[in-house]
Amino acid sequence: LPDGSLLSRKAEELRLKYHPIEIDVHMDISEKLPYMIEWWRSAQSLFVLSNLTKSVIRKLVHESSMELKTGVQEFMTDLLRSETPILIFSAGLGDIIEIFLEKEIPEFRHNHESSHIVSNFIQYDNDE
């Protein structure tokens, strides 16, 4: 669906399936790894097949239930205001991280002098 609702539902199904494995303290990392790879591949396939635009991803992020952990907003705001460098490294999607942080932390700007995201950014065919 062009509005991303199918992607959103499917991604949530994947999260409900794999997130409990990711945080299971009784499983060894070597046991978790195949599941995490499967989760990553499934999620990547969803994104590729959905042919999303950046504006749809922005809408989905703004409608999502993602939250920062307690104290992160204040901590990052203090770092930004004091011009302390922030480097965020993630194997996730940089587009989502960037949009989410800009939504939650108004002072945050990707490629701001003191904040950088090193991640996987989507190359859009149709960049809205």
Query: Is the CATH number of domain 1-51 1.10.150.340?
Result: yes
92 closest CA partner among 2, 15, 32: 15
* 4-29 pLDDT tens trace: 677 778 888 999 999 999 999 999 99
Q: What is the pLDDT of residue 35?
A: 97
Residue 99: how many other CB atoms lie within 10 Å: 20
The domain spans of the chain are 1-51, 53-128
* 27-74 pLDDT tens trace: 999 999 999 999 989 988 887 777 778 888 898 899 888 899 999 999
